[in-house]
Amino acid sequence: MAFSWFFGEDLVLDLGTSNTLIYSVKKDIKTIEPSVVAVDLTNYEIVAVGESAKNMEGKTLDNIITLNPIKSGRIINFEIAEVMVSNLLKKIKSNFSVIHPKIYITISSGISEVDRRAIEDCVIYAGARSVEFVPAAVASAMGMNLPALDPSGSIIVNIGGGTVDVSLVSLGGIVASKFVEIGGDFVDYDIMNIIKNKYDLMIDKETCEYIKISLSSFLTNKITNSLSIFGRDINTGMPRNAVIYGKDITSSLFPLFNAVCDAIKVILEKTPPSMTGNVLKNGVFLTGGCSNISGCVEYIQSQVGVLVNKTENSLSCTCLGAKKLVENKKNIKIKQNRGKIYE
Ligand SMILES: Nc1ncnc2c1ncn2[C@@H]1O[C@H](COP(=O)(O)OP(=O)(O)OP(=O)(O)O)[C@@H](O)[C@H]1O
Ligand SMILES: [Mg+2]
């Protein structure tokens, strides 16, 4: 007990484009925060991290900016990412004695060796004693209670804020995967452009995300739903509102979900014959925040022609599954080498 207090507890980390999650492996302690940091440009001090920083987006004084240190699953601003991770570690530390924890980081199949090294260094500088990588798709499969460690084969489709990762998981490893740098953020920017062109209204990122979550849908009975939004008229510069309809923004969903369908088809083609029976019987499994977009299950199913399932805990299932994997560590093979993920 005293020994584990000295060395700290094991944690799992999901460093996402939109959200960063840290779970304690042994205890029921977790933190889930948007991957956003607010910085004061006059003295380069960190003003806020996570939810409070996200709430400042578009509402701050000129000297304060909000930054997203992760893009498409990669660190694009090392110092800010380090501050964010160390801040979240401190948050979890106030709950129990994490001194220098060992951190298991979930990592998508498409992240390069160089980017993995950057994530590893960032997390070490932020206060980890050591790090190990866990394949995100295997973790997600565990989080969905799928037989990820069996030889049956499950196709996991993670649709996040900046990435799409479609992987065939079997025996605790990745048999085939397709990674695409597209995600919910791209839908938000498309919505911003549609509202600007159709309604002559400039809206902020937060409003775009709100429209995506509450109005966007593939379902024909929902595209007549409407929403009143506020923005700035691009001609007069004055604030005003507009009532927008679901059908106005449906087009913003196609680039993302067509990329998802194409990636699933690639993985279906690469699925070995020994696993096709299982895959066709069980279908593919969606996770990630954008799997909550209304009607996307039906749309993907119609495009790829296989059963599509969706998890309920889409934002936390990868981190939850990584925790389960680490708890079951004795049953699986983990490569200890720096920068290597286990197979
Ligand atoms: N209920 C919802 N409906 C639609 N979209 C949602 C919903 N909840 C979250 N999202 C979107 O999901 C995305 C975030 O998902 P998630 O947390 O899985 O991404 P991430 O893990 O941070 O990113 P990545 O894995 O791509 O690096 C955001 O674009 C967010 O707007
Ligand atoms: Mg993710």
Any idea what the CATH number is for the domain that residue 21 is in?
3.30.420.40
| pTM: predicted TM-score of the whole model, two decimal places | 0.93
Residue 79 near residue 94 (C-beta atoms within 8 A)? no
Q: Is 88 exposed, middle or buried (0-12, 13-18, 19+ CB in 10 A)?
A: buried
Q: Does 341 reside within a domain?
A: no
- Judge if 242 and 188 occupy the same domain: yes
Spatial CA neighbour of 76 closest among 118, 121, 107, 125: 118
- Judge if 245 and 169 occupy the same domain: yes
- Judge if 247 and 169 occupy the same domain: yes
| Centre of ligand 2 from the C-alpha of residue 129, in Å | 24
Angstrom distance (rounded) from CA 331 to CA 298: 36
pLDDT tens for each residue of the chain, 343 residues long: 444 444 567 999 999 999 999 999 988 889 999 999 999 998 889 999 999 999 988 777 788 999 999 999 999 999 999 999 999 998 887 555 557 899 999 999 899 999 999 999 999 999 999 999 999 999 999 999 999 999 989 999 999 999 999 999 999 999 999 999 999 999 999 999 999 999 999 999 999 999 999 999 999 888 789 999 999 999 999 999 999 999 999 999 999 999 999 999 999 999 999 999 999 999 999 999 999 999 999 999 999 999 999 999 999 999 999 999 998 875 555 433 333 333 3
- Judge if 292 and 156 occupy the same domain: yes
pLDDT for 332? 53
- Judge if 153 and 295 occupy the same domain: yes
Angstrom distance (rounded) from CA 239 to CA 129: 51
DSSP codes, 113-161: HHHHHHHHHHHHHTT-SEEEEEEHHHHHHHHTT--TTSTT-EEEEEE-S
- Judge if 157 and 125 occupy the same domain: no
Four-residue CA torsion sign, 40, 44, 47, 51: positive
Tell me, rounded to whole angstroms, the distance of Cα 92 from its chain centroid.
20
| Centre of ligand 1 from the C-alpha of residue 184, in Å | 6
pLDDT for 97? 54
Q: Identify which of 15, 19, 35 to mutate to test ligand 1's pocket (most ligand atoms within 8 A of the CB).
A: 19
Cα–Cα distances in angstroms (integers) from residue 173 to residues 63, 153, 237, in the given order: 47, 10, 54
Domain with 182, as residue range(s), is: 148-310
Overall number of domains in the chain: 2
Cα–Cα distances in angstroms (integers) from residue 278 to residues 155, 182, 272, 306, 328, in the given order: 10, 28, 11, 12, 24
Angle at 122 between CA 22 and CA 144, to 5 degrees: 30
- Judge if 299 and 192 occupy the same domain: yes
Q: Does 216 reside within a domain?
A: yes
Residue minimizing CA distance to atom 28 of ligand 1:
161
pLDDT for 95? 53
Residue minimizing CA distance to atom 21 of ligand 1:
16
pLDDT for 8? 62
Q: Which residues form ligand 1's pocket by a CB distance below 6 Å? A: 16-19, 73, 160-163, 183-185, 209, 212-213, 288-290, 292-293, 315
Q: Which atom of ligand 1 is nearest to the CA of 314?
A: 18
Q: Does 343 reside within a domain?
A: no
Residue 176 near residue 267 (C-beta atoms within 8 A)? yes
Q: Does 339 reside within a domain?
A: no
| Centre of ligand 1 from the C-alpha of residue 315, in Å | 7
- Judge if 125 and 266 occupy the same domain: no
Q: CB 130: neighbour CB atoms within 10 A? A: 15
Q: Does 342 reside within a domain?
A: no
- Judge if 22 and 103 occupy the same domain: yes
Q: Which atom of ligand 1 is nearest to the CA of 108?
A: 25
| Centre of ligand 1 from the C-alpha of residue 13, in Å | 16
Q: Does 257 reside within a domain?
A: yes
Q: Which atom of ligand 1 is nearest to the CA of 184?
A: 29
Q: Which residues partner with 31 through β-bridges?
A: 22
Q: Does 337 reside within a domain?
A: no
Q: CB 86: neighbour CB atoms within 10 A? A: 18
| Centre of ligand 2 from the C-alpha of residue 65, in Å | 24
- Which residue reads 């840290």 in tokens? 22
Percent of the chain that is helix, strand, coil (3-state, to 5): 40, 25, 30
Q: Which atom of ligand 1 is nearest to the CA of 70?
A: 27
Q: Does 340 reside within a domain?
A: no
pLDDT for 57? 85
- Judge if 156 and 286 occupy the same domain: yes
- Judge if 70 and 182 occupy the same domain: no
Q: Which atom of ligand 1 is nearest to the CA of 73?
A: 27
Q: Which residues partner with 241 through β-bridges?
A: 230
What is the DSSP secondary structure assignment for residue 327, as one 8-state letter?
H
- Judge if 290 and 325 occupy the same domain: no
